[in-house]
Amino acid sequence: MTNDTIFGRILSGAIPCDEVYSDDKCLAFRDIEPQAPVHVLVIPRKPLPSLKEALPEDAELLGHLILVANLVAKQEGLEDWRTVINCGEGAGQTVFHLHVHLIGGRPLTWPPG
């Protein structure tokens, strides 16, 4: 499986990022258009277009992404934060490589938009 999205190019090293965490399963980096003082994206190294394509064998990876978001939130000194996974264009997904938004550092209202 290949991934020619911007996130695939970040993973390959073709495009630099402001990395905050990396391991063999995922990469976390600061969003270039942050919606809050802390806005980090956690992406799997596996090219998975969205949550729609996730399979039962991806369960461990999906859990790992959430745990990494938790670790990064604590690393960033957040007391409260939001995690978001947009699934599909109508839900606001613009890059079709699964990613978890970690957003915090300011009060977050509900509903989000």
Q: Which residues are catalytic?
A: 99
* Residue 101, token pair as written in the block: 């938004």
CA-to-CA distance for 101 and 40, rounded, in angstroms? 6
Distances in Å between the Cα of 66 and the Cα atoms of 12, 26, 36, 102, 108 are 22, 11, 19, 9, 19
